[in-house]
Chain A
Amino acid sequence: MALFGTVLKSGISLLNCVRHFSTGTCSLVRMHAIPKLKQVDRWTEKRSMFGVYDNIGILGDFKAHPKDLIIGPKWLRGFRGNELQRLTRKKHMVGDRMMTQDRHNLEKRISFLYRRFNRYGKHR
């Protein structure tokens, strides 16, 4: 009986190539059920009032500009630039108020970017 079983198994392995070991790993993301969709409230105060006063210039006699509405760091309100421009503007406007380690990192980054943009590569 045992011989018959082994013959059968070897026969199966010859025909279907059944492996007795695994060559892959399991996925690290394990889910036992389909995850629930997250409930997003589309009518919160912020979402329903988004964009109000964006046309304050054209509808409000040009006394204010939409860039005055932007809430953010002082050196980025109504300004757009690449990293070097942003960092030099930050140093100019806010640099004397910064902590020593932050200021040192800012200066290192500015000198690194200056050398990278102006000395290496195709665009200089």
Chain B
Amino acid sequence: MFRAALSVCGGGVAKRLISSLSGEVVLPLNLRLPPNLIGVPREKRASPSGSDLPVVRQCEADIPAHLSPIQTWCESLGSQDSEPLGVVDLHPDVFSVPIRLDILHAVEVWQRNFKRISYAKVKSRAEVSGGGRKPWKQKGSGRARHGSIRSPIWRGGGIAHGPRGPTSYYYMLPMKVRVQGLKVALTSKLAQDHLRVVDTLEIPTPDPQYLQDLAKNRQWGDSVLIVDIGEDFPQNILQATESLKTINLIPAIGLNVHSMLKHECLVLTLEAVKFLEKKLLWHDCRFTPLYPFKYPYSDMP
């Protein structure tokens, strides 16, 4: 065992020495792609910082002086091979926050568990039918002494410490933690090039194949989450996404960390970006609530 460990250590040291001597870049083991990987590797898009296209949208909220807005392409869904329309400015306090994986994990676990109600229930010895009478007398029969035929040690008896009744696992994370979870999720989607901004959701045909070809051409990934503000979506995109399983359409109010992690790519419209920035930035500069926010405040609409 020790000899094997020593040989592994020796091999690793030798590899590092070789790479430093020869000057080649050798990727560590966990970053190397296997040679038999199916699928086209994603090509990185050019960053929009040096392009000539106009800035389609600027941030409404004030950006702190020491930060600068992040820029992304604004695309159109109108045709398969349309060029980006322009460049969009995104607020750094929503789309470029420090990536807190622990907050992301906490929010994801909260989303899984707070709605959970487990209906497991077993009968205790008091609830199983029968078992009121002492089966045989205490002394003299030669058998072990028992008080009822439904005690937990009997076959067919009740369960002593089983699951009892519908149990709920409800709890709430602090509001600012949930807000920060959304910001971290948006930041990581943008950082990994899985966030696309689109001007409107108008597509020429209600054909689901059009969206699938679009996703393949623009390298969106296997699953796409399309987010628009409001309840009214164009009929074409509604019909197209109805039959598709991996391309889903939700209003901006329904955005959440679990859906963002489940779907590979996130497509936001410009109004959805404006709505999200307004809602998420308000929590940075609000007072602590004296009473729940659902009751009217004089200075809040």
Residues on A lying within 8 angstroms of B by beta carbon are 43-44, 47-60, 62-63, 65-67, 69-73, 76-80, 83, 86-87, 90, 105, 108-109, 112
Task: Judge whether A55 and B256 touch: CB under 8 Å.
Answer: yes
Instruction: Determine whether B140 belongs to the interface, using a CB cutoff of 8 Å to chain A.
Output: no
Query: Distance (Å) between the CB of A54 and the closest chain B CB?
Result: 5
Which of B126, B169, B256 has its CB near the most chain A CB atoms (within 10 A)?
B256
B119-172 residues with Cβ-Cβ distance < 8 A to A are: 124, 126-127, 164-172
Question: CB distance B168 to A72 under 8 Å?
Answer: yes
CB distance from B46 to the nearest CB of A (A): 32
CA distance A115 to B54 in the complex (A): 74
Whether A72 and B294, one on each chain, are in contact in the complex, defined by CB atoms closer than 8 angstroms, is no
Q: Does B8 interact with chain A (Cβ within 8 Å)?
A: no
Q: Which of B126, B170, B179, B294 contacts A62 (CB 8 A)?
A: B294
- If A52-B254, A59-B255 touch, does A72 touch B165 (CB 8 Å cutoff)? no
Q: Which of A47, A52, A87 has the most CB of B within 10 A?
A: A52
- Given contacts A62-B294, A70-B170, 11 further A-B pairs with CB under 8 A are A48-B248, A51-B259, A55-B178, A58-B280, A59-B253, A62-B293, A63-B294, A70-B114, A71-B117, A76-B166, A80-B171
Hey, which bits of chain B sit against chain A, CB under 8 A? 111, 114-115, 117, 124, 126-127, 164-172, 175, 178-179, 182, 223, 245-246, 248, 250, 252-259, 262, 275-276, 279-280, 283, 292-294
Asked if B250 and A52 sit within 8 Å, CB to CB, the answer is yes
Give complex CA distance A60, B282 in Å.
13
Chain B residues whose CB sits within 8 angstroms of the CB of A69 once the complex forms: 115
Closest A residue by C-beta to B225: A48
In the complex, chain A residues whose CB is within 8 Å of the CB of B164: 83
Give complex CA distance A67, B223 in Å.
29
Whether the Cβ atoms of A70 and B117 lie closer than 8 Å is yes
How distant is the Cα of A59 from the Cα of B253 in the complex, in angstroms?
A: 5
Cβ contact of B170, chosen from A53, A54, A80, cutoff 8 A: A80
A109, B122: Cα distance in complex, Å: 13
Per the bound structure, the CA–CA distance linking A72 and B170 in Å amounts to 12
* Pair B253/A56 contact, Cβ less than 8 Å: yes
